[in-house]
Structure 1
């Protein structure tokens, strides 16, 4: 009897030990899972807290409180005030001859199926940065970079031509594009035309990813015809010009055997003036290009060439279009110009835009 009790007690003790051990193991597993969950939940938040927001130092005077800035009318800047909330920041260097605009970078829909950033998205980023630099009031006296706000009170400016040079690193997924820095400078002042030079810079390395020149023409608000720039503006800022010459884009001669792509302008392709946005013409060109690739009418351009990304783009504007206009894109290649396509967009038989695209090798 004693022996049987002793055996039972030993068995019970061993069973209890096994149960306690299993409980210990289960408990440890739960603690480990909890620990992992806590690390998954807590560690990222710690890392986020360690990544302090990028605060751009500025030479611009603070004129009002944040609340007042959010609520007050900003005059001519009003159409672009959303850029402030998006994170655009401005500072002036080199005796206010250089505007440095810090921008968040391209959005996720700015990339194509090959992972390359659309050139029209880059064009829009530069345009936004230039508008921001020109129209953001610097202080309570409503000073503007290069007095462009004052200039805009007297006349309008419209784009006549533009050129872009895209470095191959722009298409390298290992090169960060968030955020970006865009340097804007006066390039040239003529009688009734001017241009601005903009470079997109990767902030951490200082590498230039895109070089751009925009040629603008001064337009009289009443007659809607070219008009000279005021003499005070040329005298005050002429010595800040870094290019010293206009951007001249030669007009293309369309061949008789050019390929065609026809469409109608949609409302979403227009701007705040209800005209076709200048970047939309770039979209039309590239849509026509891919139409040509699909139809197999191009000899030197195919999907593999397009994957390399655009190296150079030159554009010239001759007219304006509005919603509902039917446009025809004529496009062609030249035998001794590899990886290059030429475009001429017409409305009712009249050229309104021309473009040349050259792709990286």
Structure 2
């Protein structure tokens, strides 16, 4: 275990070892065919960097400041994350500050379906919270942030353009502990006005990578609400830390005429701080549509037995935004000779706002 872990974390690790009385599952470093050399190198690098001594982020205020000054700084910088701190979120950096390790308590009790599998949207939400924590939690009272990402928000928004997930099959094994977990966050790529981050969910006691995620983001100017280039200083300062070196490109799907449909209305509980439908909500819409198709018997290759095996891959692309009250139509279909795979296209007023591809484990 890494230095500084709590007694509870160490006890959980020992308990996990005793429960599993078998050879630990080893995650293959062979990525999906077609992935770049940089991605494969990243997996190997992740193994090496776990052995390096991390920097523990301190929340101590600078000496010499008055109580009022310290309270003001703490309220402005740290207060938005106090609830996460209270439930166990911790941020640690490697010596070169190119990797953020977010310790999270794990999945909640309502994160599992009737088959005992993790809801994929619960995993997506957990990764989203951990990435936000890594990006925006201040490293100290001098307003330093991991990769200076928090500073970018002074004039920029980011829009999720695309996202990919690979779920290790051991994620769905009951004996593999989901409490606590670590989320490793690294810069993947910086382009002119887009960037991506590589995020790995790790089981601490074994070091197994349970989920691998890449999120492609586009910089949006707060005033014009249009894509805008990243500052040159940010690219020059952090560009060499990128581990992927290429954008995540998800090809747009071509919806067939015989696609099945599922309709819904976006609700307030599915929106985010910007009052837009949260990017994770579209995952819920996709799986609800899939379950509807299974119940209605309109899918040939998908049934309850297939979905029990859990999702293996998920690729998403975002084209627009939705708000509370929008009427949405989820189109879904299968393709011959592509088993255990379902495609989705979500439209608002006849315009595609989101597409998704789900492939299940054998």
Determine if the TM-score, normalized by the shorter chain, exceeds 0.5: yes
- Counterparts of 1:220-235 in structure 2, within 5 Å, are 220-235=221-236
Could you tell me whether the CA contact under 8 Å between 2:294 and 2:303 is conserved in 1?
Answer: yes
State the distance in 1 between where 2:57 and 2:271 align. 33
2:217 equivalent to 1:195: no
| TM-aligned CA deviation for residue 311 of structure 1 | 0.1
| TM-aligned CA deviation for residue 75 of structure 1 | 3.3
Q: Which has the larger radius of gyration?
A: 1
Partner of 2:56: 59
Partner of 2:99: 98
Could you tell me whether the CA contact under 8 Å between 1:326 and 1:347 is conserved in 2?
Answer: yes
* Residue range with higher mean Cα deviation, 110-119 or 151-160: 151-160
State the distance in 1 between where 2:343 and 2:294 align. 14
Partner of 2:83: 82
2:103 equivalent to 1:148: no
2:207 equivalent to 1:206: yes
| TM-aligned CA deviation for residue 71 of structure 1 | 8.5
- Higher RCO structure, 1 or 2 (CA under 8 Å, sep 6+): 2
Residue 248 of structure 1 aligns to a residue whose secondary structure is: coil
Could you tell me whether the CA contact under 8 Å between 2:263 and 2:327 is conserved in 1?
Answer: yes
Residue 170 of structure 2 aligns to a residue whose secondary structure is: helix
Residue 109 of structure 1 aligns to a residue whose secondary structure is: coil
State the distance in 2 between where 1:255 and 1:122 align. 30
| TM-aligned CA deviation for residue 94 of structure 1 | 4.2
TM-score, normalised relative to structure 1 = 0.82
State the distance in 2 between where 1:294 and 1:77 align. 47
State the distance in 1 between where 2:194 and 2:273 align. 22
Could you tell me whether the CA contact under 8 Å between 1:58 and 1:90 is conserved in 2?
Answer: no
Residue 108 of structure 1 aligns to a residue whose secondary structure is: coil
Unaligned residue ranges in structure 1 (runs of 5+): 1-50
| TM-aligned CA deviation for residue 53 of structure 1 | 3.6
Unaligned residue ranges in structure 2 (runs of 5+): 1-5, 11-52
2:271 equivalent to 1:256: no
| TM-aligned CA deviation for residue 149 of structure 1 | 1.1
TM-score, normalised relative to structure 2 = 0.82
Residue 322 of structure 1 aligns to a residue whose secondary structure is: coil
CA displacement, residues 224-282 of structure 1 (integer Å, 9 cap, x when unaligned): 00000000000000000000000000000000000000011111111111110111000
State the distance in 2 between where 1:72 and 1:142 align. 9
- Counterparts of 1:262-341 in structure 2, within 5 Å, are 262-341=263-342
CA displacement, residues 91-141 of structure 1 (integer Å, 9 cap, x when unaligned): 000400000000000001000000000111000010001000000000110
Partner of 1:157: 158
State the distance in 2 between where 1:168 and 1:351 align. 31
- The size of the alignment, in residue pairs, is 310
Partner of 1:241: 242
More helix by share: 1
State the distance in 1 between where 2:86 and 2:287 align. 31
State the distance in 2 between where 1:153 and 1:182 align. 25
| TM-aligned CA deviation for residue 185 of structure 1 | 0.1
CA displacement, residues 47-96 of structure 1 (integer Å, 9 cap, x when unaligned): xxxx934499852234249x999986543664443211111000000400
State the distance in 2 between where 1:322 and 1:341 align. 26
